[in-house]
Amino acid sequence: MLPFLRRLAWLAVMLPVSCASTIHAGDGAVDADAGPVACTTVLQCDDHVFCTLDACVTGACRHTPLTTRCAAGLSCDPVRGCVAPPACTLPAVPCGTRCAVLATDPSNCGACGLACSDGWACQGGRCTMPPGCAPLTSCGVRCVDTQTDPSHSGACNRACASGTTCRGGTCIPTPTCLAPTVLCGSTCVDLQTDLAHCGRCGMVCSTGATCLRGVCTTANLDLRCASS
């Protein structure tokens, strides 16, 4: 709020601004009754609401609610000023001047003011990626297998310590593989013959194929002669 005398001094030269046409940070909307209001100075943007921070941003008035200007237990409403929290019906709880269900509200996911990224949903109080990871698990911006991923073993961000790997969602000591086997995930395999790791880790041969010398093949070969 600006001092009363300063407002009077400018009143004669400044174009009056309708509160209904200014932008309120927090509700993110411009009143449909009027378009954006041009301003050149913050003096034109006084909304007469004690708890808002008035500003002229890129030619439009903006009023940011500051609950810290209100007494304990009150929240700042950009139109009504300091108000008591709303009476919410469980499972909703007061978040600022409105009720929110923390388990499902993407703007208040798990806690008031904790917003999910655009396009993400709030499930069980946690921000989750859009569908597309199943049967894997969404961890941040990646889909991971929590049964084998050493950075997300059993759950997101549960990393295995150095010298261990992830098997079945549990961190275990990294096995020592004897030649010619190598470690793929948490298992020692022979890349020359392993159907799930043919030639390299994760290269799975199709049904009916075999892994011969690190290559998936469906040829009818006599394996007894394969080494000749």
**pLDDT, tens digit, 9 for 90 and up, residues 179-228:** 889 888 778 899 999 998 899 888 888 888 889 998 988 865 544 444 44
Beta strands in the chain (DSSP E): 23-24, 52-57, 60-65, 75-77, 81-83, 93-95, 98-100, 121-123, 126-128, 137-139, 142-144, 164-167, 170-173, 182-184, 187-189, 210-212, 215-217
Query: Rounded to an integer, what distance in angstroms lies between the CA atom of residue 178 and that of residue 184?
Result: 13
Could you give the CA distance from residue 68 to residue 124 in angstroms, rounded to a whole number?
A: 30
Q: Which of 29-33, 78-82, 213-217 shows the lowest per-residue confidence on average (mean pLDDT)? A: 29-33
Mean pLDDT of 15-34: 40
What are the phi and psi torsion angles at 108 (to 5°)? -145, 70
81 in Cβ contact with 75 (< 8 Å): no
Asked if residue 41 has pLDDT above 60, the reply is yes
Tokens 């499902």 -> residue: 104
**Which amino acid would we find at residue 49?**
V
Q: Each residue of 127-178: pLDDT tens digit?
A: 876 666 777 887 776 778 898 888 899 998 999 998 888 888 999 888 888 8
Top-confidence residue, 1 or 199: 199
The whole-model pTM stands at 0.32
d(CA 59, CA 47): 16
Query: Mean pLDDT of all residues in the chain?
Result: 76
User: Does residue 115 have a pLDDT over 80?
Assistant: yes
